[in-house]
Structure 1
């Protein structure tokens, strides 16, 4: 992990760090399992960001204005959040903000299966963007 990204993770509240690190692990595991290539890990707008060659970048963060949630941010010029909203709007622990963010409650377990599907869509976006519901 690059030093600036590690420093950012260390700045998060202790209740937030494990959730965000778990998301980071899922991203790297998905990239390895699906042979998506090298993951570029950096800070974008002060947030840990993850990108692969044929994907759309994903950022992780926690915001003080939503202290009980942590967030996944997606490129707002993609169909990702619209697709996620259509597929998972009834999922009880996921909230969407505009066309760029997914908010997850700190008090709930990580919804692994849903998040893996969403993250894989983002990480393969340029291969699936022409498909209805991004191939879901």
Structure 2
């Protein structure tokens, strides 16, 4: 298990009910694993935004912030949140129709204890962590935006 650098983030994870804490801890590891495996992302910054564990590509500025948290009003649920105006969730919906429980343009929801679509989720997180760099390349005409 990866050590917490921010005691506030560690406290939020400790406050989660056991039913979702272990799943959120696995999701946390996935964030760091995807960042390490994705060229151009660099070291992630883990912090709190809106009281939620958040993962930023501050070192390179390559991507959009990804947040994780227990789903509001769902004791056995949790979610991965994306910037609602980025268009990322719509892209995920197109890439993987019916694979995720989608909340509008902002989140992918999951039930505690259920198997995650790990391959697809890793791809989506990688797209979020490279969102800005892909937009810049597309703007310059280097390569299309598609994942």
Consecutive unaligned residues in structure 2, runs of 5 or more: none
Matched, 1:31 2:35: yes
Whether contact under 8 Å (2:62, 2:132) holds in the other structure is yes
Choose 27-36 or 3-12, whichever is displaced more. Answer: 27-36
Please give the secondary structure, in 2, of the residue aligned with 1:77.
Answer: coil
Task: Assess if the C-alpha contact under 8 Å between 2:23 and 2:113 holds in 1.
Answer: no
Structure 2 contact 19–113 (Cα < 8 Å) conserved: no
1:6 aligns with 2:10: yes
1:124, distance to aligned residue in structure 2 (A): 0.5
2:102 paired residue number: 96
What's the counterpart of residue 81 of structure 1?
Answer: 89
For 1:64 and 1:125, the matched residues in 2 are separated by 26
Q: 1:34 to 1:64 in 2, by over 3 A?
A: closer
Tell me, in whole angstroms, the C-alpha distance in 1 between the residues paired with 2:111 and 2:71.
Answer: 12
Are the counterparts in 1 of residues 20 and 76 from structure 2 also a CA contact under 8 Å? no
Instruction: Please identify the structure whose Cα radius of gyration is greater.
Output: 2
Q: Which residue of 1 aligns with 2:146?
A: 135
Q: 2:25 corresponds to which residue?
A: 21
TM-score normalised by structure 2 residue count: 0.84
Counterpart in 2 of 1:114?
120
In the TM superposition, what is the alpha-carbon distance from 1:85 to its structure 2 partner? 1.1
- Number of residue equivalences: 133
Asked whether the equivalents of residues 46 and 56 of structure 2 are also in contact (C-alpha less than 8 Å), the reply is: yes
TM-score, length basis structure 1: 0.90
Flag structure 1 segments of 5+ consecutive residues without an equivalent. Answer: none
